[in-house]
Structure 1
Amino acid sequence: MSQVHLIDHPLVQHKLTLMRRKEASTNSFRRMLGELSTLMAYEITRDMPLQDIEIETPMETMTGKVIDGKKLVLVSILRAGNGFLDGMLNVVPGARIGHIGLYRDPETLQPVEYYFKMPSEMAERDIIVVDPMLATGNSAAAAVARLKQMNPKSIKFMCLLAAPEGIATMQKAHPDVPIYTAAIDRELDSHGYILPGLGDAGDRIFGTK
């Protein structure tokens, strides 16, 4: 099964609680998401491989370790996933960015791809897929399946909130993909929204509610 990593750092939990409040403005929601995604990026990149390089300090030559950020791709599931990008780029500014757009077919309720744009040489890269909400899990599972066709070195999935149903969908479809989340909420309602949740993340990020 996919490993589920709950990022329970006090600062993450504090900001998430403030974001959940229905009176939080678009500006404050967007700002806190940026701050929270930076904090979460530290956790999800904890095991990134390092390489040795030789540098000159003001005192002498030494060998230090660096992350090759150019090998990392942050893949946003449109549109809400874009809210994660700026905060994560604070940590890994050399990362490339990919986008995948999916909508739910009203008859089959299955995700349909309408946009897909990735950097080149994906087989050499590690991928972090970002989407604020892991609700039913259908879009996330479809996005990961599409990305696996490019044979990347690794894939991780990061979200703000996960529902048990979404985790189960991802674990069944992609048991090899670890999930990183700031909270596992109670359940989905009849419309597929997470409870207690925080509403529609895309609407709250972009002010379209």
Structure 2
Amino acid sequence: MSKVVIMDHPLIQHKIGYIRRVETGTKDFRQTISEIAMLICYEATRSLPLADVEITTPICDTTVKELKGKKMAIVPILRAGLGMVDGVLNLIPAAKIGHIGLYRDPETLQPVEYYCKLPADCAEREVFVVDPMLATGGSSVAAIQMLKDKGCKKIHFMCIIAAPEGIAKMQAEHPDVDLYVGALDEKLNDHGYIVPGLGDAGDRIFGTK
């Protein structure tokens, strides 16, 4: 079963409280989303494999630790996931970026792919899928399946707010993918929004209605 890490860091909790507020404007919301993503990424990368590397300091030769093998790829789920990319890049500026676009079919309510562009060597990288909200889990499950279909094996998922229903669906469909969650909320309402949540993350990041 996948690991679910709910963040307990005071800075993350403080910043999530700020973006929940209805009066927080677009500029501050966008900036804080990026900051939270960076803090969650710090925790989510804790178990990345390391290798010993011989180097020379100004004083002597020594052995240091570096990330092992291929580095990371960040894959936001469009469009709200874009709001988390810069925060992750602040920590790992060499990461490559893919994009997955999904929309929900109004008839079947199932996610439908409309865009997918990934780094050519994505299958060899540690892939971090990012989306601010994990609500029903439909889009996240579909995005991760698309990555697996393209050969990706080391996949992690980062979100800022999750509902229990979304976590349960992710664990059922992708038990090999670890989840890193800023806050676990109470439930989904009848419209599929997280309660108490923060509204529509995409609208609040991009200033649309």
TM-score (norm 1): 0.96
- Number of residue pairs matched by the alignment: 209
Q: Which amino acid aligns with 2:122?
A: M
Structure 2 equivalent of residue 37 of structure 1: 37
Structure 1 equivalent of residue 204 of structure 2: 204
Are the counterparts in 2 of residues 70 and 94 from structure 1 also a CA contact under 8 Å? no
Structure 2 equivalent of residue 189 of structure 1: 189
The secondary structure found in structure 2 opposite 1:159 is strand
Runs of 5+ in structure 2 lacking a partner? none
Match status 1:130 vs 2:130? yes
Structure 2 equivalent of residue 104 of structure 1: 104
- How many angstroms apart in 1 are the aligned matches of 2:28 and 2:122? 35
Are the counterparts in 1 of residues 70 and 126 from structure 2 also a CA contact under 8 Å? no
Question: How big is each residue's C-alpha offset from its partner over 1:38-90, in whole Å with a ceiling of 9 and x where there is no partner?
Answer: 11111000001112222221211212111259521111000000111111111
Q: Which amino acid aligns with 1:85?
A: V
Are the counterparts in 2 of residues 69 and 92 from structure 1 also a CA contact under 8 Å? no
Q: Which amino acid aligns with 1:20?
A: R
Identity across aligned pairs (percent)? 60
Structure 2 equivalent of residue 163 of structure 1: 163
TM-score (norm 2): 0.96
The secondary structure found in structure 2 opposite 1:54 is strand
Q: Which amino acid aligns with 2:173?
A: A
The secondary structure found in structure 2 opposite 1:22 is coil
Q: Which amino acid aligns with 1:150?
A: K
CA shift, 1:8, in A, is 1.1
Match status 1:117 vs 2:117? yes
Q: Which amino acid aligns with 1:117?
A: K
The secondary structure found in structure 2 opposite 1:119 is coil
The secondary structure found in structure 1 opposite 2:203 is helix
Q: Which amino acid aligns with 1:115?
A: Y
Runs of 5+ in structure 1 lacking a partner? none
- How many angstroms apart in 2 are the aligned matches of 1:84 and 1:68? 24
- How many angstroms apart in 1 are the aligned matches of 2:58 and 2:34? 35
Q: Which amino acid aligns with 2:185?
A: D
Q: Which amino acid aligns with 1:119?
A: P
CA shift, 1:151, in A, is 2.0
Are the counterparts in 1 of residues 37 and 88 from structure 2 also a CA contact under 8 Å? yes
Are the counterparts in 2 of residues 70 and 96 from structure 1 also a CA contact under 8 Å? no
